[in-house]
Amino acid sequence: MEEKTILINALKINFKVAGQGPAILVLHGWGGSSSSWTKVLEFLSLKGYKVICPDFPGFGKSDSPPFSWDVADYMKWVVSFVKSQDLDELFLLGHSFGGRVAVKFALFYPEKIKALILCNSAGIKHEPGFKTRIIFRLVHIGNIIFSPKLLARFKDKARHILYSFLRHKDYVKAKGVMRQSIKKVLEEDLLPVLSKIKTKTLIIWGEKDKMVPVKDAYMFNEKIDNSKLEILAGTGHSPHLEKPKELVDIILKFLR
């Protein structure tokens, strides 16, 4: 496996590449990087595939974007990366946030994708439940409470606790331009456009996913006509870390 650096749109980009054969482009999730996919890259490369996994701008060893990006901005960046690697056709695998970007890419560039693989993919925006609405009401009250100068220094700490409780850990960890980016990303709902995807699609989901509920897997499967769903029992949000061999076996079966 090689680790390489390339300049794309004035951003220094780190990526990993392994193997020879048909190309599989892997798009990691928010907060992840190419390093978290090492095992999967190794397994797939040994089975006759060329596997490429870049660190998205703002993650891993890649430069951060110059301003806050939304899903479309990241998709356009993927277009530039694909062009830089001379990939005319590829298998596209997206995990979590990478799934959002993969969906967008499949909508605009279906001719470049031989098959789409969505692993615990984010992208479906849910209406807040009763508990969440109560919490957001408390946020509003908190903004009033922490407005005086003497209490203002405690505001960030209180916000950190709140978002951790809501399991929005990615938002808590994000800094600067990336915090604005994740707000843009989370605002977009891809559910209305899923039915427009005509590419052959494999949907893989961890049964115990607490970040993106397994019910979303069935919604993806229902909306994308030419799709197949595989549920990994006893697995959470990161099958590539929890069960990389089982994940690869499912992918290989689908590709063949």
* pTM over 0.75, yes/no: yes
Q: Where are the domains of the chain?
A: 2-125+189-255, 130-181
Measured in residues, the chain has a length of 256
Q: What is the DSSP string of 16-40?
A: EEE-SSSEEEEEPPTT--GGGGHHH
Instruction: Render pLDDT for 14-65 as a digit per residue (tens, 0 to 9).
Output: 999 999 999 999 999 999 999 999 999 999 999 999 999 999 999 999 999 9
Instruction: Render pLDDT for 89-125 as a digit per residue (tens, 0 to 9).
Output: 999 999 999 999 999 999 999 999 999 999 999 999 9
Q: Print burial letters for 66-100: b (CB count within 10 Å at least 16), e (below 16).
A: eebbbbebbbbbbeebbeebeeeebbbbbbbbbbb
Which CATH number fits the domain 2-125+189-255, given the four candidates 1.10.290.10, 1.10.10.10, 3.40.50.1820, 1.20.140.10? 3.40.50.1820
> Would you call 195 exposed, middle or buried from its count of C-beta atoms within 10 A (0-12, 13-18, 19+)?
exposed
